[in-house]
Structure 1
Amino acid sequence: MKKYVHAKQANADRNAQTLRGQYELAQAIKEYDSTRRQELHDGFYNTKQWKTISAYVKSRDGYADAINGRLWDEGDLIVDHIIPRRLLPKDKHLDTSNLWLLTRAQHNHKTSVEKKLSENVLKHASREWWGNVLREKLFYIY
């Protein structure tokens, strides 16, 4: 299984280096966002406040992901709520202490784990706990 996952990732990395691969990835992301990520459509992530806070967090963290500390380009990182935004009071949506940087793969894995956890667990999951969960998963992928 590890060999298959590694080969699949290597193939995706190769495809992402071509213009056609980049276009197909962008289309797949756009399709995913429009059909499965309804939180994008409430307008929050398009507000000037969010864009300002997002740029601040990227700068604060030096464009390094929170899991491995590896440096990335601006477009390769996602500013993520450690405790999901849907569980926070409205006045805490822009709290920078609850925001960190993840790569798309890390963010997607975190989202899949979140779907399996209760709201009570999610409300109390710390940055360190999430770091351990995501590092463990990524260890098995690579």
Structure 2
Amino acid sequence: MFYASRRWRKLANSVRVSKGYVSDVSRKILSDTDTQVDHVVKRSLLPKSEWYDRDNLWLLSRAEHSIKTNVEKKMLRENRVDELKAMNEEDWQRILKNIMKNR
């Protein structure tokens, strides 16, 4: 399984440390149990050669990650795959901040 692999765990920990456990969305310091290293572009939409691309990884809280996952699922149901693939970190920050502000 990908997320249980030693390579992923090592990379994810490196991302957490390099980002100082600070969310890339809220800019809040996260606890170890609240951090989620996430693929900006959904891993399942990428070729295997890009699954470990550090430039496509960012740090989210569990709540932010849950919201992003739900938005991705909705976009996939609506067959918006090309749009989803083209989204970058700034796009996601805007969407996630907007959703969280309106909760």
Q: TM-score, normalising length from structure 1? A: 0.68
Aligned to 2:72: 114
Aligned to 2:59: 101
Structure whose alpha-carbon radius of gyration is higher: 1
Give the one of 67, 72, 89 matched to 2:47.
89
Letter in 2 for 1:111: T
Render the CA deviation track for 1:33-66: whole Å, top value 9, x for unaligned.
xxxxxxxxxx000000000000011011110111
Task: State the alpha-carbon separation in 1 of the partners of residues 31 and 61 from structure 2.
Answer: 10
Deviating runs (4+, > 4 A) in structure 1?
Answer: none
Query: More helix per residue: 1 or 2?
Result: 1
Task: State the alpha-carbon separation in 1 of the partners of residues 19 and 35 from structure 2.
Answer: 11
Aligned to 2:30: 72
Q: TM-score, normalising length from structure 2? A: 0.93
Instruction: Report the secondary structure of 2:84's partner residue.
Output: helix
In structure 1, list runs of 5 or more residues that go unmatched.
1-42
Q: CA deviation at 1:119?
A: 1.1
**Number of aligned residues:** 99
Q: CA deviation at 1:140?
A: 1.3
More relative contact order in 1 or in 2 (CA 8 Å, sep 6+)?
2
Letter in 2 for 1:133: I
Task: State the alpha-carbon separation in 2 of the partners of residues 103 and 73 from structure 1.
Answer: 9
Instruction: Report the secondary structure of 1:115's partner residue.
Output: helix
